[in-house]
Amino acid sequence: MPVRTHILKFKSGDKIFSAGDSANCAYIIERGRVGLYPLNRQDARIAELGKGELLGEMGIINNLNRSASAFAESPVELLVVDREQITSRLENADPILRGVLEVLLSRIRNMLGGDSLTKKNRENNNNIVTEGMTKIRFEHEMFEALENDEIVNVYQPMVNLSDNTVAGFEALSRWKHSEKGMVSPFEFITLAEESDFIVPMGLKIFDSACKQLSIFQNKRSQSHPQLLPLFMSINVSATQLSSDGFLEKIMAITQKHKINPSNIKIEITESLMVDYTQVATWIDECSEFGFKLSLDDFGTGHSGFEHLLQLDFDTIKIDQIFVKTIDTNPKSLIMLELIVQMAQRMNMSIVAEGIEDKKSAQTLKIMGVDYGQGYYFYKPMNATEIIKII
């Protein structure tokens, strides 16, 4: 959308717009005073606006004609705000915010007298409200689900590519919804992150992952005492990392389940890793407590070279996209080789995700990738199924 920035000038007493005019822009008052009147300047003034205030926004967000007339009360300069500068933001806004705003606007429309919306506009606005309220309800269901232990973990094994033994797991959360069946973490984790609900939810996920790891490790030490202890990778978001006392809380959880923190890998994908000094402090603290740090989805927009440059990770997880295109795009192979070389020189262990066939597993093994994760080896499974394979 090309934004026109232009200034309109008015003399004292000039009409800026009239009640009933169609509204195609709003204004920011850059200089002078503007009076709002029901119809014309002789009427009682509704409001007087000054420098820095917004004028004419109602018609834009309401999609209605001007509900009042505006006159310059002194020499006035206005910065024109295009309709799209506001509406494109509204369209991209959170459905809950849009719903709440629409409820508010419809109340104002009623107060201003009559509802002059077209049938189509009314339907559209009702849909906006419904979408917002559905999301709020879904959030409530999520709070209840956590209380009722309907948010559970499944575990996907990570395989040591040198001998195909199971080396550890990634804990992946699932919502066992009474009507919708299994809800994907893509749906509810994002929602939990928006409302900071990810903090209590994340601790519960952490707790059950540690509890299971302790069971898996005991089982493994009985069946294969010669193998290294199993590890558990747990996804943690920046909101969790920055929450009050996070490290102390996860430390207490590991102690409760008698887990050595060095067997826990904290997986971070970060879109929010902007304040490197802050994130570096959290990461250093995690390491001091003995936890391992893993950079998830490496190579995607969220996890790139800058993270590696600024922060210290123990493990790097190469994103699925490189593995998926290993046979079809020769560039994948080149990039994979370089990532592996780089990780080895930086003393990081390497995991490749999304391995779906034997050939890719073989190629990655030859390349020097340490661990493989993907449907070719195992899908995410519940704890009972995991016990069977270890």
Binding residues vs ligand C2E (CB under 6 A): 156, 172-173, 184-186, 189, 205, 235, 237, 269, 296-297, 353-356, 373-375, 380
Q: Tell me which residue of 52, 79, 59, 54 sits closest to 18, measured CA to CA.
A: 59
Separation between Cα atoms, residue 262 and residue 265, nearest integer Å: 7
How far from chain centre, in Å, is Cα 288? Answer: 28
Partner interacting with residue 185 (select from Ca ion, ligand C2E, none; CB below 5-8 Å by kind): ligand C2E
Strand partners, 382: none
Q: Residue 31: is it exposed, middle or buried by C-beta count within 10 angstroms (0-12/13-18/19+)?
A: middle
- From residue 76, alpha-carbon distances to 3, 16, 69, 346 in Å are 22, 10, 15, 62
Q: Please, what is the minimum distance in Å from the beta carbon of residue 177 to Ca ion?
A: 22
Q: Please, what is the minimum distance in Å from the beta carbon of residue 237 to ligand C2E?
A: 5
Residues 257-296 binding Ca ion (CB under 5 A) are 267, 296
- 10 Å Cβ neighbour count for 57? 15
What b/e readout covers 348-387, taking b as 16+ CB neighbours within 10 angstroms? bbbbbbbbeeeebbebbbebebbbbbbebbbebbebeebe
Q: Please, what is the minimum distance in Å from the beta carbon of residue 235 to Ca ion?
A: 5
Residues 193-252 binding Ca ion (CB under 5 A) are 235
Q: Please, what is the minimum distance in Å from the beta carbon of residue 347 to ligand C2E?
A: 23
Q: Please, what is the minimum distance in Å from the beta carbon of residue 357 to ligand C2E?
A: 9
Of 128 and 172, nearer to ligand C2E (C-beta) is 172
Of 69 and 303, nearer to Ca ion (C-beta) is 303
Kindly tell me the sign of the dihedral angle through the C-alpha atoms of 337, 339, 342, 348.
negative
Partner interacting with residue 205 (select from ligand C2E, Ca ion, none; CB below 5-8 Å by kind): ligand C2E
Q: Please, what is the minimum distance in Å from the beta carbon of residue 245 to ligand C2E?
A: 18
Residue whose Cβ sits closest to ligand C2E: 374
Of 207 and 319, nearer to Ca ion (C-beta) is 319
Residue 234 near residue 269 (C-beta atoms within 8 A):
no
Of 82 and 319, nearer to ligand C2E (C-beta) is 319
Please pick, from the candidates 297, 336, 360, 363, the single residue that binds Ca ion as defined by CB under 5 A. Answer: 297
Separation between Cα atoms, residue 145 and residue 349, nearest integer Å: 36
Q: Which residues bind Ca ion (CB under 5 A)?
A: 235, 267, 296-297
